[in-house]
Structure 1
Amino acid sequence: MPNTYFQFKQFRVEQDRCAMKVCTDSCVFGAYVEVGEAQRILDIGTGTGLLSLMVAQRSGASIDAVEINQEAQWQAQENFSASPWASRLHLHPHSLQGFAKQQRPKYDLILSNPPFFLSSLKSPDAAKNTAKHAGELLFEDILYFAQQHLTEHGKLYLLLPPAEALYFAKLSKASDLYLQEVLQVYTYYGGKCIRHIQTYTFAPAAAPVTKDFYIREEDKVTYTSEFTDLLQPYYLAF
Structure 2
Amino acid sequence: MSNPFFQFKKFTVWHDKCAMKVGTDGVLLGAWTNIDRADRILDVGTGTGLVALMLAQRSDAFIVALEIDPNAAKQATENIEQSPWKDRMQVIEGDFKEYKPSVHFDVIVSNPPYFTDSLKCPDSQRKTARHNDNFTYIDLLKGVSEMLSENGRFTVIIPSDIVNKVKETANNFSLYPSQQLNIITTPGQAPKRNLLTFTFERQECQTEELLIELSRHKYSNEYIKLTKDYYLNM
TM-score range with shorter-chain normalisation?
A: over 0.9
Alignment of 1:138-157 (within 5 A): 138-157=136-155
1:204 is matched with which residue? Answer: 202
**In angstroms, what is the RMSD of aligned CA positions?**
1.2
Looking at structure 2, the residues matched to 70 and 199 of structure 1 have their Cα atoms a distance apart, in angstroms, of 29
Q: Distance in 2 between matches of 1:88 and 1:156?
A: 20
Structure 1 alignment gaps of length 5 or more: none
TM-score normalised by structure 2 residue count: 0.96
* Structure 1 residue 96 displacement after superposition: 0.3
Q: Secondary structure at the match of 1:36?
A: coil
Q: 1:215 aligns with which of 205, 209, 212?
A: 212
**What is the one-letter code of the residue matched to 1:222?**
K
Deviation at 1:192, TM superposition (A): 3.2
CA shift digits 1:159-207 (9 cap, x unpaired): 11112332211211212110112101011121231210001001112x4
What is the TM-score of this pair, normalised by structure 1?
0.95
Displacement, 1:156? 0.4
* Partner Cα separation in structure 2 for residue 132 and residue 164 of structure 1: 15
CA deviation string 1:34-57 (max 9, x = no partner): 111100000000000000000000
Aligned-pair distance for 1:2?
A: 2.9
Q: Which residue of 1 aligns with 2:50?
A: 50
SS for the counterpart of 2:91 is strand
Counterpart check, 1:225 vs 2:221: yes
Contact kept? 2:161, 2:192, Cα under 8 Å: no
1:137, CA displacement in angstroms? 1.8
Q: Aligned equivalents of 2:75 and 2:189: distance in 1?
A: 34
Q: CA deviation at 1:116?
A: 1.2
Distance 2:173 2:29 in 1: 24
Paired AA for residue 23 in structure 2: C
Alpha-carbon distance between aligned partners in 2 of 1:46 and 1:178, rounded to the nearest angstrom: 23
Distance in structure 2 (CA, Å) of the matches to 1:113 and 1:193: 17
Q: Which runs of 5+ in 2 are unaligned?
A: none
Answer with 145-154 or 31-40: which moved more.
Answer: 145-154
Native 8 Å contact 1:49 1:80 kept in 2: yes
- Map Cα deviations across residues 108-149 of structure 1 (whole Å, 9 max, x no partner): 000000111111111111111111111222211221122111
> What letter matches 2:208 in structure 1?
K
Percent identity over the alignment is 37
Paired residue for 2:4?
4
2:104·2:147 contact (CA, 8 Å) conserved in 1?
yes
Contact 2:212 2:219 in 1 (8 A): yes
CA distance in 2 between counterparts of 1:80 and 1:167 reads: 34
What residue number does 2:157 align with?
159
Contact 1:92 1:99 in 2 (8 A): no
Which deviates more from structure 2 when the two are superposed, residues 132-141 or residues 60-69? Answer: 132-141
